[in-house]
């Protein structure tokens, strides 16, 4: 195991909300909540000003509105977020060939592999330069953690938030980990955390004190041994440019077709439990649950459901698989069943992109290329009188120029006219079918042609 703190973890600060504040001068320094605005919507992310009121990611939007009624509530603009993410990832790849993205706004970097750092001093210099370059290129801030392992680098970046850098010095790891909740360790989700707590283990120090044998008794050999090593600050996971494992799945083929619906349900539940065992053994979690059914006539059906965030909870996977089964006709008999989990991540990584897609389900947003389904028909042109104007999205008016939607309803749409480089703009209201008003592309957050490190 390396001893120099040359593993870097970058986490952009309140990514979606910060991008919206940078794009909209009137929202800078104010509470901003990004997510689905419909009755089932959830918060994708929120600004630090909104967090003061208790708003947080994955919270139902209705609850967020009660806590922060005066915040700005916006629908995600995925195209803008992906564009910024690509700029950030390009900067990371200039540091090292070993960059492991975890989501749009988060990644690990092996600085030593790129000869960008080899000791504490060089790691600090690389981290500070990266933060400055991100600000110059994107106009946004990111927090950086530096340590000798992925687990510790992530803990360091969390401590650095917002807009900071923390380096964990070699030799201090055990003392730093001891008082922290068991939930900071990769692979410890809500279910595992509750199980450990019932066994009298709440902190990382408790795990170290309990010993490996007790962890194996509580969690099984694979999970227990790995978790005990993490508690002792031993994390041998390498930064990998591409994940070898895209999904974890199990399936069974039956010698005789199963016709009994009750037995089919029982088999799906059993497969879900086996799948979670493999997931935990790999110290992973996933956000998409997949059910595979091969019927008596060899036709194979797959159904999937994407959760708000990654999970390794067997109850959650069982329930999702059971819901998926309800949409499949098995009356003719089943010869194969399978359950899988994809969209993999370390459990402690919060997948904001997954959350945002769920959050925006009530506010239709064009899917990224390749994410459509074969059954989707081409969109019909929307009559002007029926156009929907999503809060926060970009528009352009023939007379007043570029702006963004503050809200709409009762046949009217309210627009604030401003750009990333103007001051707070004026507000005007139009009919939803005003021919002078049209949807527009997002503007860049930083003036083009400004080289990194110059601002």
Query: Which residue is catalytic, options 106, 112, 267, 350?
Result: 106
Cβ–Cβ contacts within 10 Å for residue 329, how many? 8
How far is residue 114's CA from residue 237's CA, in Å, rounded to a whole number?
18
The token pair at 356 is: 């945002």
Give yes or no: 106 in active site: yes
- CA trace torsion 189, 102, 78, 341 (10° rounding): -50
How far is residue 269's CA from residue 20's CA, in Å, rounded to a whole number?
42
Give the active site residues: 106
């Amino acid at each position: 195991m390396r001893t120099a703190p040359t593993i870097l973890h970058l986490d952009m600060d309140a990514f979606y909300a910060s991008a919206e504040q940078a794009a909209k001068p009137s929202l800078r320094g104010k509470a901003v909540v990004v997510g689905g605005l419909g009755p089932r919507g959830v918060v994708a992310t929120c600004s630090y000003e909104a967090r003061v009121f208790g708003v947080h990611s994955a919270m139902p939007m209705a609850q967020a509105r009660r806590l922060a009624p005066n915040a700005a509530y916006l629908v995600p603009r995925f195209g803008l977020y992906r564009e910024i993410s690509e700029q950030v990832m390009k900067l990371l790849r200039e540091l090292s060939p070993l960059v492991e993205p975890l989501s749009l706004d988060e990644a690990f970097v092996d600085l030593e592999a790129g000869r960008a750092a080899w000791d504490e001093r060089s790691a600090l210099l690389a981290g500070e330069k990266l933060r400055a370059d991100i600000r110059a290129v994107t106009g946004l801030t990111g927090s950086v953690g530096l340590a000798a392992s992925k687990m510790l680098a992530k803990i360091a970046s969390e401590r650095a938030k917002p807009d900071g850098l923390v380096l964990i010095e070699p030799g201090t790891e055990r003392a730093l980990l001891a008082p922290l909740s068991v939930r900071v360790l990769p692979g410890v989700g809500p279910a595992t955390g509750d199980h450990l707590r019932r066994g009298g283990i709440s902190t990382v120090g408790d795990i170290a004190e309990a010993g490996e044998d007790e962890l194996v008794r509580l969690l099984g050999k694979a999970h227990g041994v790995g978790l005990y090593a993490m508690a002792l600050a031993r994390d041998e996971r390498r930064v990998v440019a591409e994940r070898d494992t895209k999904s974890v799945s199990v399936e069974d083929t039956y010698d005789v077709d199963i016709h009994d619906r009750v037995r089919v349900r029982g088999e799906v539940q059993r497969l879900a439990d086996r799948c979670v065992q493999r997931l935990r053994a790999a110290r992973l979690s996933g956000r998409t649950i997949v059910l595979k059914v091969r019927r008596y006539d060899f036709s194979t059906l797959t159904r999937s459901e994407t959760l708000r965030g990654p999970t390794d909870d067997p109850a959650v996977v069982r329930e999702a698989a059971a819901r998926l089964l309800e949409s499949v006709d098995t009356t003719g008999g089943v010869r194969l069943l399978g359950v899988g989990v994809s969209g993999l991540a370390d459990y402690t990584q919060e997948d904001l992109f997954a959350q945002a897609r769920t959050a925006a389900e009530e506010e239709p947003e064009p899917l990224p290329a390749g994410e459509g389904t074969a059954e989707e028909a081409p969109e019909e042109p929307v009559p002007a009188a029926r156009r929907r104007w999503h809060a926060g999205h970009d528009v352009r008016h023939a007379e007043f120029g570029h702006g963004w939607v503050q809200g709409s309803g009762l046949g009217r749409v309210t627009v604030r006219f401003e750009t990333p480089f103007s001051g707070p703009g004026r507000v005007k209201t139009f009919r939803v079918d005003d021919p002078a008003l049209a949807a527009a592309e997002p503007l860049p957050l930083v003036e083009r042609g400004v080289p990194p490190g110059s601002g």
